Amino acid sequence: MTSILRTVATIITLAALATTIGLAVAYWRWTQEIAGDTDRMVGNAVASDSRTITDAMLADLPCPARRYLVHAGVVGSKIPRLVMLIQKGRIRNSAESGWMGFEAEETYSTNPPGFVWRAAFPATPMPVVLGRDEYLEGNGSIVMKVLASIPVADERGDELRAAGLMRYLNEMMWFPAAFLGSNVTITAIDDASFGVSIADRDMVAEAVLLIDAEGQLTNFRARRYNTGSRSMEIWETPITAHASFNGLLLPRTGSAVWKLETGDIEYIELEVTGVTYQY
CATH number at residue 247: 2.50.20.10
Residues 86 and 23: their CA atoms lie apart, in Å, by 25
Residue 185's pLDDT is what?
A: 98
pLDDT digits (tens, 9 = 90+) for 67-119: 999 999 999 999 999 999 999 999 998 888 999 999 999 999 999 999 999 99
Residues 163 and 231: their CA atoms lie apart, in Å, by 11
pLDDT digits (tens, 9 = 90+) for 194-247: 999 999 999 999 999 999 999 999 999 999 999 999 999 999 999 999 999 999
Angle (CA) 155 181 219, round 5°: 60
Look up the domain containing 50 and give its range.
2-278
Residue 59's pLDDT is what?
A: 97
Of 8 and 20, the one with more pLDDT: 20
Residue count of the chain, please give it.
279
Residue 124's pLDDT is what?
A: 87
Do the Cβ atoms of 137 and 162 come closer than 8 Å? no
pLDDT confidence tier of residue 169, bands split at 50, 70 and 90: very high
Closest-CA residue to 175 (of 77, 49, 87): 77
Residue 18's pLDDT is what?
A: 42
Domain count, the chain: 1
- pLDDT for residue 5 is more than 60: no
What single string gives the DSSP state of each residue in 200-260?
A: ETTEEEEEEEEE-TTS-EEEEEEEEEETTTTEEEEEE--EEEEEEETTEEEEEEEEEEEEE
Average pLDDT, the chain: 93
pLDDT digits (tens, 9 = 90+) for 13-71: 434 444 556 567 889 999 999 999 999 999 999 998 889 999 999 999 999 999 999 99
Do the Cβ atoms of 137 and 114 come closer than 8 Å? yes
Residues 56 and 79: their CA atoms lie apart, in Å, by 16
Residue 16's pLDDT is what?
A: 44
In DSSP terms, which residues pair with 184 in a beta bridge?
198
Q: How many CB atoms lie within 10 A of CB 192?
A: 14
* DSSP one-letter code for 27: H
Do the Cβ atoms of 104 and 123 come closer than 8 Å? no
